[in-house]
Amino acid sequence: MSGLSIVIPVYNEYKNLSFLVNEIFRFVRVDKFEIIIVDDNSKDGSHEVLRKLKKRFKNFRFFIRKKKPRDLSRSCVFGFKKAKFEFVMVMDGDLQHDPKDINKLYKKIVKDNCDIVVGSRELLSKKNYGLKLYRLISSIILILFVNFILGKKTNDPMSGFFVFRKKVFTDVEKDLFNKGYKILLDLIYTQKRYIKIKDVFIKFQIRKEGSSKMNFNIIYLLFLHIFKKLRKFNFLNT
């Protein structure tokens, strides 16, 4: 079905949820769209906020994922399965992705007949104020590493803001690594066919409330994921 399903994985984003959802409904200019929030069993009162939002908006759904471990990729996959439209978008629930950019990404994937459009952060631009120095440096290093080892497919394989045709997911669902916080990388490098990927540059916003989920365990899972891809393509056996 033509339209856009916006999947937002969240955990303890109580202070951001209402503002984010209201901003999406305020700025999105897509004829048919829905918002799907997948909450990783937050402990901060998010569930009550979600229930209130459900009463206000018709095309809003939320799900509480109680299975352990808590994991952004698994929450995203859960949301992908619930999505009813042809195009599926992922964005963070921490307000670092501007709802106004939803229209740019959606317009690009439709106009250029792409499989994936990535909201790429301009990490080397002075306009990028959304990352602290240590995260900026680590993000640049990780992107360079992924693009060198696995081949460059996009300017920002670490992005958490992108839109794709649902078939991109269903084609490889059973082969996904499905761990960690980098579902875009998983979707791109698990493909068995050529897919058309384009970038749209976005301004990464400063987190106003809550705290970042990035930690050493996430980085470990990322490298484990890359190692798995290397073994799959027999790069380690040559």
pLDDT digit string (tens) for 35-44? Answer: 999 999 999 9
Which of 2-11, 173-182, 206-215, 229-238 comes out lowest in average pLDDT? 229-238
pLDDT, residue 141, reads 83
Question: Quick one: average pLDDT of 45-54?
Answer: 97
pLDDT, residue 139, reads 79
Q: How far apart are CA 76 and CA 39, in angstroms?
A: 10
Is the pLDDT score of 238 beyond 50?
A: no
Question: Quick one: average pLDDT of 142-168?
Answer: 92
Alpha helices, DSSP H only, in the chain? 14-27, 46-56, 72-82, 101-111, 133-150, 166-170, 183-189, 216-232
Confidence of residue 234 (pLDDT cuts 50, 70, 90): very low
What amino acid occupies position 40? Answer: D
Is the pLDDT score of 22 beyond 60?
A: yes
Q: How far apart are CA 176 and CA 191, in angstroms?
A: 9
Which strand ranges, in their side-by-side order, compose the sheet holding 197-202? 60-64, 33-39, 4-10, 87-90, 162-165, 116-121, 197-202
| Burial of residue 185, with CB atoms counted within 10 A of its CB: 0-12 exposed, 13-18 middle, 19 or more buried | buried
Based on its alpha-carbon atoms, the radius of gyration of the chain, rounded to whole angstroms, reads: 17
Tell me which residue of 82, 73, 66 sits closest to 6, measured CA to CA. Answer: 82
pLDDT, residue 38, reads 98
Full set of structural domains in the chain with CATH: 4-237 (3.90.550.10)
DSSP letter, residue 205: P
Q: How far apart are CA 187 and CA 50, in angstroms?
A: 28
What is the distance in angstroms between the CA of the first residue and the CA of the last residue of the chain?
Answer: 44
Q: How far apart are CA 152 and CA 198, in angstroms?
A: 12
The backbone torsions φ and ψ at residue 90, rounded to the nearest 5 degrees and listed phi first, read: -115, 135
This prediction's pTM: 0.87
Question: Quick one: average pLDDT of 130-137?
Answer: 67
Is the CB of residue 50 less than 8 Å from the CB of residue 125? Answer: no
Question: Quick one: average pLDDT of 150-155?
Answer: 92
Dihedral angle computed from the Cα positions of residues 160, 161, 162 and 168, in that order, rounded to the nearest 10 degrees: 30
Two tokens, residue 39: 């909450």
More confident residue, 236 or 21: 21
Q: How far apart are CA 54 and CA 56, in angstroms?
A: 5
pLDDT by residue (tens digit) across 69-122?
889 999 999 999 999 999 999 999 999 999 999 999 999 999 999 999 999 987
DSSP letter, residue 157: T
